[in-house]
Structure 1
Amino acid sequence: MRKTLKIIGIVFAALVLLALGAAWLANEPIPEGTPGAKADELAREMQQAVNVEAWNNTRFVRWSFPGGHDYVWDKQAGLVQVKWGSKEVLLRTDGPNGKAWDSEQLLKGEAAEAAVQEAWAYFCNDSFWLNAPAKVFDPGTQRALVDLEGGEKALLVTYESGGVTPGDAYLWHLGADGKPERYEMWVSIIPIGGLDATWENWTTLSTGAQIATTHNLGIYEMKLTNVKGGHSLDQIGLEYYPFEALGIRQ
């Protein structure tokens, strides 16, 4: 028995070392780029390709994110409803504050604060995957033009502040039409720098904004579902305004 356990331990240790070695080999440093007008021009071309103006004018957005996170977002009012499991949070998007319920019971004190903070982290992450191209000129962003082999150009966007993981960087690779095809990531929650994620299966909202609903990360395919947007609640399939519990009417 001891001999068997020892062999299992050796095999496990070897697998861990192999995994660490593979991660080390796959890890890439953040590339150097040139900030300035040309980088900003490429960023604007990307935003134009996905109709960011229509996105900015879209009032209501609804979508579901893997893991059971369901959202209704009133962009004009700066409010979002986040649902997961038995919890519901009505959150203000200018910071982690709002009201929380669990199994339809209003939470108070530390339980409420924890639920609001969790909803805020979900929203920051999941809304980024919903439409990151719209955020490349957000406050705290830095843009740089990166020269690739073959003369192609890529857009490096670094988030110096904002969200829950400041310091993250993304290298956007664009198609001939300016639309994003994929990006490489350098993010604090992933130990491998330069991990690829595709931007594909684009859908056009009723307002004209374009959203990528599939992101393939190689070992995992992330699919956003029930993606809808509109100027009115009925355009996203709702008959009621979900934020009246905050004392706010449409």
Structure 2
Amino acid sequence: MAKKTKRIIKIVLGVVVFLTLPSVLFFGFVYFKYNEDVPTGIKGVEADALATKMLDALDYVAYKKTNYIEWTFKRKHHYQWFKTESLCHVLWESYKVELDLLNPSESKAFVHSFRVHNEKADDLIKQATTFFNNDSFWLVAPYKVFDEGTERRIATTKNGEKGLLITYTSGGTTPGDSYLWLLDESGKPRSFRMWVDILPIGGLEASWSDWTITESGAQLPTFHKLLFIGLEMGDVIGTE
């Protein structure tokens, strides 16, 4: 009986090692290849000017006039954002939350089209808020560089490339996150590097290159590439 038990334990351990070792090795490779500390940067007029150049390249005026934005993040979370009214309908699986972004207590939650209340509603509203904070950032992050609680710096990468380092000292789901925007000659973003609480590796780079010009004139991304992962935004709609 003891031999049989030992054999089972060996088999289980072997399976665990077989399944986890490649992941551990891959993580180690990515960590040592990409991980680095947040670069130091310089605040001031030059940083603000670069941030303004990026907004001009993306037609910030058109984005400000955009009232309604619709998209689907990774084919999972669908959004109908009434931007000027600070309202957003968040839909996933069998759930729908009508988020009131200015007055969260006024938000409403539904399951299979039936409104729910109390703890269930609170849980769904909290989940929808987390989804919105993350997924909308992947859509409109460039337009948030002058948001309240942001710090702007000119920073230089290890390769000597200058970028716009944005740190969010407040707001959102994970305040303290930093992003280094890398821009083309016109000031339009082509990628950013991230130092965020949710990722154990600092400095990972994600593309910002698959842009669409919406009906309202706002320029919004339709896809991002992060290592081997694709983040799809679906059919992005923007109207006045």
Q: Confirm or deny a common fold (TM above 0.5).
A: yes
2:187 aligns with 178
Verify the 8 A CA contact 1:96 1:117 in the aligned structure 2.
Answer: no
Q: Structure 1 CA distance, aligned partners of 2:157 and 2:27?
A: 28
Verify the 8 A CA contact 1:34 1:144 in the aligned structure 2.
Answer: yes
1:36 aligns with 44
Q: Which amino acid in the other structure matches residue 144 of structure 2? A: K
Q: CA 1:150/1:67 → structure 2, altered by over 3 Å: closer, same or farther?
A: closer
Residue 80 (structure 1) aligned with residue 98 (structure 2): no
Q: CA 1:150/1:12 → structure 2, altered by over 3 Å: closer, same or farther?
A: closer
Residue 209 (structure 1) aligned with residue 221 (structure 2): no
1:202-247 CA distance string (max 9 Å, x none):
100111111111100022011111211112xxxxxxxxxxxxxxxx
Q: CA 1:208/1:10 → structure 2, altered by over 3 Å: closer, same or farther?
A: closer
Q: Give the drift of 1:24.
A: 3.6
1:81-133 CA distance string (max 9 Å, x none):
11111111111122544000000111100000011111111111111101100
Residue 128 (structure 1) aligned with residue 140 (structure 2): no
Structure 1 counterpart SS, 2:132: helix
Structure 2 counterpart SS, 1:155: strand
1:18 aligns with 25
Verify the 8 A CA contact 2:152 2:164 in the aligned structure 1.
Answer: yes
Superposition pairs of residues 45-194 of structure 1, within 5 angstroms: 45-94=53-102, 96-97=104-105, 98-148=107-157, 152-194=161-203
1:228 aligns with 237
Q: Which amino acid in the other structure matches residue 72 of structure 1? A: Q
Q: RMSD of aligned C-alpha atoms?
A: 1.9
Q: Structure 2 CA distance, aligned partners of 1:163 and 1:6?
A: 41
Q: Structure 2 CA distance, aligned partners of 1:61 and 1:9?
A: 45
Q: Which runs of 5+ in 1 are unaligned?
A: 232-250
Structure 1 counterpart SS, 2:102: coil
Moved over 3 A (4+): 1-17, 148-152
Q: Give the drift of 1:4.
A: 4.4
- TM-score, scaled relative to structure 1: 0.86
1:137-176 CA distance string (max 9 Å, x none):
1111001001346764200000010011101110000011
Structure 2 counterpart SS, 1:76: helix
Q: Which amino acid in the other structure matches residue 46 of structure 1? A: M
Q: Which amino acid in the other structure matches residue 55 of structure 1? A: Y
Q: Structure 2 CA distance, aligned partners of 1:46 and 1:153?
A: 14
Q: Structure 2 CA distance, aligned partners of 1:124 and 1:4?
A: 44
Q: Which amino acid in the other structure matches residue 68 of structure 2? A: F
- TM-score, scaled relative to structure 2: 0.89
Q: CA 1:200/1:13 → structure 2, altered by over 3 Å: closer, same or farther?
A: closer
Percent of aligned positions that are identical: 40
